[in-house]
Structure 1
Amino acid sequence: MTDIEEIRRRKLLELQRKAMAEEREQVSEAQKEQIRRQFEIQKRHILRRILTPQARSRLANLRLARPELVEQLELQLIQLASAGQLRSRITDKQLKELLRKISSKRRRIRIKRM
């Protein structure tokens, strides 16, 4: 083999390795996306079971303004439901109370002008 042929062969092998690595990465990303979608579907199903329609509506509206708060609350509700600590569906009134409790835990910053 000449030097040029050897260089071409190495380059071809390197390109094939890169292509295979990219292919694996794409499959991995697709699997992650599929897992995320399945988690979201399960989460919606559980929330539909434990919240009244009015409470779900309130969460949907609140998600527009404070998505991180809603995400935190949803996960807490799912944990309570899976632990068997919820005896009945959560009403809008109960959800408002939970939101008040969560909001009061947050530190409020007040600026006083002198």
Structure 2
Amino acid sequence: SVYFAFEELNAIVYRAVIGKTYPRTIYGNSQLKNLDVRELWAAGYTSIRTQDVSSSIRYANLPLQILRSNRKADTKIRQGQNPGLLIQKNGQTHFVVVNGKLYDLRDQHRKLGDWLR
């Protein structure tokens, strides 16, 4: 992404895998804030569908793609697309790229609410 090109990762030994969309719709801000982001990433999820979540949260800079309940996440790596990516080594996810930002799974933040403060 050209919007958040602040970090560089030497990914020569890594593999990029397109993330999945969490199968359950998340209702309301409290459910959203209590999601364990690292657990979702470890399970391969980089996007979630939401309903009844305030619009200020939907467009915030979060470590998951926040989709309206009727929208699908991008699933192709090509120009004009924005898929969430799991950066893996030997089948284990070490980093995640969501909305053009690189996240390290060793980061201390776990709950989505930690990013909303």
Which of structures 1 and 2 has the larger relative contact order (alpha carbons within 8 angstroms, sep 6+)? Answer: 2
Which structure has greater strand proportion?
Answer: 2
User: TM-score, normalized by length of structure 1?
Assistant: 0.24
| Structure exhibiting the larger radius of gyration computed from Cα positions | 1
Which structure has greater helix proportion?
Answer: 1
User: TM-score, normalized by length of structure 2?
Assistant: 0.24
